A and B are shown apart, each in its own frame.
Chain A
Amino acid sequence: MITIEQIAKKFSGKSGEVIALEPFSQEIAEGELVSIIGPSGCGKSTLLRIIAGLETPTSGKIVLGTSGLKRPVGFVFQDAVLLPWKTVAENIRFPLDTSGVPRSQGDQKVKELIQLVGLAGFENSLPKQLSGGMKQRAAIARALADDPPILLMDEPFSAVDLLTRETLNDELSRIWRKTGKTILLVTHSVEEAAYLGTRVMVMSPRPGRLRKTFDVDLPSPRGEETKRSPEFLDLVAELRTMMREMTQ
């Protein structure tokens, strides 16, 4: 579904060159949910932006097996990036409006999405009236609006409080199981990475590269019991050790 072939990225600016990503390859199958973790600056956002076509790689290429779809990827940015002049509902329907989906059909979809992300009652609020977490939820709803087969999420829950975060985690897991989307999720939380992912990619910084990939063999659907299972706790401990080594 997503083939990463020897992707590398170098930024050259006034203050010299930054190697954001060293060449690496990876194959992500259709319907996988791959978590990506790694210290700040290791190129996680850059990788996602390259896959989304927002950044051109210095070398290598990305192949999306989405057979010429106009909008193959939905993207949830690190901070929401809503259109400040539009209400929550208008923001969520923006991808639909701009691809010619009829009004009534769009209305129905927006209603469902607002329920899904728990923003009922805030349909007509402007972004400036929302908290960071609410904006992020609106951004998630927008990314889902036109039903892209691939969903790229860059720390989507970092501005959300812990309880909401757990709810949204389960919600994301449910959406993923139901829709069979291919999801790449960047996160700073090793628990979140292990809890949601079928695989966890660990990246290391300076220069950014893929350090190791872990297969997560936990039964699905996952829930509170998963978080107490020895397999889960072992994986989290291993990931945490690896992260600690890298930041020292």
Chain B
Amino acid sequence: MSGRLRATAEYGAALALLGLAWWYASGPYGMPPYLLPSPASVLTTLWNMLAAGQLLPHIAFTIQNIVLGLLIGTVFGVLLAYLLFKTPFLNDVLEGPLVVLQTAPKIALAPLIIIWFGLGLTAKIVLIFSLVFFPVFAGALAGFRAIDSRLHDLAQLLRLTPAQRFFRVDLLASLPSIFVGVKIGAIQALVGAILAEWMSGAQGLGYLMTYATATYKTPILFGAVLLTALFGMVMHALLNEIEARFLSWNVPDER
């Protein structure tokens, strides 16, 4: 617990230092506001937008896409990994192509995805999905393969049904490994969501960035970047919290 407190303190100190440097550069040092707006002007802009109801819809849109993409990507990543784990034939046929796809730069495919899936929500979710799917798939497959063979013996001994095997043994045993994939996927999902909004649509934090750039409203740009970074941090903290709460069985107790 004290370790966690210290980590939070260190984190806070680093942020404060960064804020101070920002304030110094934009204030006493005298960077022009269109290059570097002051912290105060950014916060004021954000506040005004919030009060006018112009901010929350964008935030909600981006979060919604990330959560949807993350959920769908995780479910499909885990299911396909389990399918491959359970059917050696599929594993032999699909593993090669999947490795190739996994290494393909999905970000570079973003324009193609937009051509295929249109300018709307679908393309955005598909892009995020493609970014989340592979790390989760890889983590899950590694997890399923690393299950202690004696747990399989136990499942067979207890004559568990296929569903019981999956939900009560295999999935839980691989959860730590799946979670490694989800954590990587979550960061990718954030990148993917912003990128997708840069390219099309008129909603989301990513759109806000392109809009602000095009109209030289630098404080809005900074605000959007700040909010994106903040969201990334919250997501990271949330995932760590989930891990600490539900996967502690996997971590040996300190003695």
Task: Mark A residues whose CB is within 8 Å of B.
Answer: 49, 52-54, 70-71, 73, 75, 77, 79, 81, 83-85, 94-95, 98-99, 126-129
Contacts and interface: CB of A to CB of B under 8 A. Distances in A.
B150 A83 contact: no
Interface of B is mostly: helix
Contacts of B86: none
Interface of A is mostly: loop
A99 B249 CA distance: 25
B164 A128 contact: no
Interface string B138-171: 0000000000101101101111100010001100
Given A70-B159, A85-B172, A98-B164, A77 B249 contact: no
Interface residues of B, number: 20
A133 B146 CA distance: 25
Contacts of B64: none
Contacts of A49: 153
B172 A54 contact: no
Nearest to A73: B157
B156 A53 contact: yes
A36 B156 CA distance: 24
Contacts of A70: 159
- Most interface-central of B159, B172, B175 (chain A CB within 10 A): B159
A85 B169 CA distance: 10
21 contacts: A52-B157, A53-B156, A53-B157, A54-B153, A73-B157, A75-B157, A77-B150, A77-B153, A81-B148, A81-B154, A83-B154, A83-B173, A85-B175, A94-B158, A94-B168, A98-B160, A98-B168, A99-B158, A126-B249, A128-B249, A128-B253
A84 B153 contact: no
A43 B169 CA distance: 28
B213 interface: no
A53 B156 CA distance: 8
Contacts of B156: 53-54
Nearest to B152: A54
B122 interface: no
